[in-house]
């Protein structure tokens, strides 16, 4: 396998293993129905409990249609709710429910476990270099 193909293969393997670890963590914490793809939305809402869908889409780098599908699932599962903006009905705000707040500590624990595993054996400089190089790869695409 050439180096170029190997990079893509390794990145795919990392994503697959990370998703598997997240799913296992959710299962251990009896959190049902969530997928790793919901995590980015929840993280944003844990940081700021009132965001509009447009802001979340921009912050996580996904298009609005992808966000809409993920948000609708989170609403259906009872983790978040939608509120129409009082001044502009085209804007939809998202807020966490009690159930959404209730999984925050488990969610952070799962994320911390994943990051601990990913960065095992890396010093701070190596972490910065890795992030910089991965960002360059992403921007090149």
pLDDT band at 40 (very low <50, low <70, confident <90, very high): very high
Say whether pLDDT at 49 is over 90: no
CA distances from 54 to 3, 51, 65, 135 (A): 38, 8, 10, 23
* pTM of the predicted protein model: 0.83
Are residues 68 and 79 in contact, defined by beta-carbon separation less than 8 angstroms? no
pLDDT at 1: 58
* CATH code, domain with 54: 1.10.10.10
Count of structural domains, the chain: 2
Q: What is the pLDDT of residue 88?
A: 86
Most confident stretch, 1-10, 20-29, 52-61: 20-29
What is the pairing mode between strands 80-84 and 92-96? antiparallel
Whether pLDDT at 4 is above 80? no
Q: Give the length of the chain.
A: 141
Percent of the chain with pLDDT over 70: 97
* Residue with tokens 């929840």, as numbered in its chain: 42
Range of the domain at 74: 38-102
Statement: residue 3 has pLDDT above 80: no
Give all strands (DSSP E) within the chain, no chain letters: 51-52, 80-84, 92-96
Q: Could you give the angle at which helices 53-60 and 64-77 cross, rounded to 10 degrees?
A: 120
Question: Residue 102's pLDDT is what?
Answer: 95
Rounded to an integer, the average pLDDT of 9-27 is: 94
Residues 108 and 91 in one domain: no
What does pLDDT average to over the chain? 92
Please indicate, yes or no, whether residues 44 and 84 belong to a single structural domain of this protein: yes
* First-to-last C-alpha distance (Å) of the chain: 20
Q: Is the pLDDT of residue 136 over 80?
A: yes
Tens-place pLDDT, residues 70-125: 999 999 999 999 999 888 888 899 999 999 999 999 999 999 999 999 999 999 99
**50 & 98 share domain:** yes
Mean pLDDT confidence for 135-141: 89
Same domain, 113 and 81: no
């Amino acid at each position: 396998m050439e180096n170029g193909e190997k990079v893509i293969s390794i990145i795919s393997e990392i994503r697959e293993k990370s998703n598997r670890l997240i799913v296992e963590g959710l299962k251990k914490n009896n959190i049902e129905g969530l997928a790793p793809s919901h995590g980015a939305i929840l993280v944003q809402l844990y940081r700021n409990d009132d965001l509009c869908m447009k802001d979340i889409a921009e912050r996580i780098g996904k298009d609005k249609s992808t966000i809409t599908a993920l948000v609708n699932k989170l609403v259906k599962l009872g983790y978040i709710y939608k509120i129409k903006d009082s001044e502009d009905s085209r804007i939809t705000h998202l807020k966490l429910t009690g159930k959404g707040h209730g999984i925050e500590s488990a969610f952070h624990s799962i994320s911390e476990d994943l990051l601990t595993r990913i960065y095992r054996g890396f010093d701070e400089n190596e972490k910065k270099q890795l992030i910089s190089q991965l960002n360059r790869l992403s921007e090149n695409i």
